[in-house]
Structure formats: structure tokens, C-alpha cells
Structure 1
Amino acid sequence: MKHGPTLFLKLAVLFIGLPVISLCVFGLIWLMSNPANPDYDQLLYPIIAGMYLSAIPFFIALYQAFKLLSYIDNNQAFSGFSVKALKKIKVCALVIS
């Protein structure tokens, strides 16, 4: 089986995660130290905590998508493993929303 389309999709999954992890590592930390309006500092911390908490199911869903693409590579696209991965992606999407 050709690995071209799934390799492209695996790379796309990785490139989707890179901006989010860089935002979590650099952007949100910078925002905490340099708030736009210092009067609302007390509101900034719960918002940033919510952003960090929503990143956890996002990365779990990306990992499950990567596993799903691996199952497709191994001709197990319609197996129980892929169904479990899709269900986990669905739950992560519900948690994020």
C-alpha cells in the first residue's frame, strides 16, 4: 500500500500541533507577564488556565488522529482500534467545545 497520502496527513497533524504548542510555551507565558490592561490581571489567569486545560484534549485528539492514520497504513481502517480512536477524538472535541 502507498504511504504517500497518509504520510502527508501525518505531517499535517504534526504541523497542526506545532503552532499550538509554541503558543502554550511562549505566547501564553508572555501574555501572563505582559498583560494588555493591568487592571484586569485577576481575570487573565483563569482565562490562561482554561487555554492550557483545553490544549490537553487537543493534543490527545491529535495523537489519536496520528494513531488512526497508522491504523489506515496497516490496513486496519475498519477495525475496533480505529473505532476507539474515533470515539476518543469525538470525546476530546466535545470537551474542547
Structure 2
Amino acid sequence: LPGVPTVEQACGLPGFESSTWYGLFAPPGLPAEIQRRMNREVAKVLEAPEFQRWLVETQGITPPTDLTPEGFRRVHEQDIARWGAIVRRSGAQVD
């Protein structure tokens, strides 16, 4: 888009990147076997070549490489830290 500044130019955020992810959250205390089964079933879908093509071609999403609950937890925690810093820097507050 000609004439539209980048986030770095407009907001002074060098190296700014944003990505999209989807995840499943469950209540605390979910039995481990249920968590493992949900993970196995979701991983089957995410590993399917036709689904990966759909993610890339229609959603612009790079398929995840770490399909473990621990891998998702890391992504989630990194996003909380990164976006938390951006929100604090912006001065935004909840009324």
C-alpha cells in the first residue's frame, strides 16, 4: 500500500511482526488422557497436507512445527510478554 507507513515508521517499533495462531484452551484439571487425545486429534488435522495448503494459501498462516501442548504454551507465553510490553508502552488503559 503506497503511502501507508509501516508499523515501525508510524509507531517506532523496530522489527515489528505480527502473526496469527489458533489454539484450544481447557479448564484447569483436565485429565491428562483427554488432553493427550485432543492433542493427537488436532495434530492429525494440522499435519494433513491439504489443511496446511489451505492455511498458507487462504489464511496466510504458516503451519506450526511444534504441535505439543508445551510448544503452544511457549507461543502463548511469548505473545503475552510481547504484546504486554507493547500495550504498556502505548499507555493504553482499561476504563
Q: Do they superpose with TM above 0.5?
A: no
Higher helix share: 1
Q: TM-score range by the shorter chain?
A: 0.3 to 0.5
Report 1 or 2 for greater relative contact order, CA contacts < 8 Å, sequence distance ≥ 6: 1
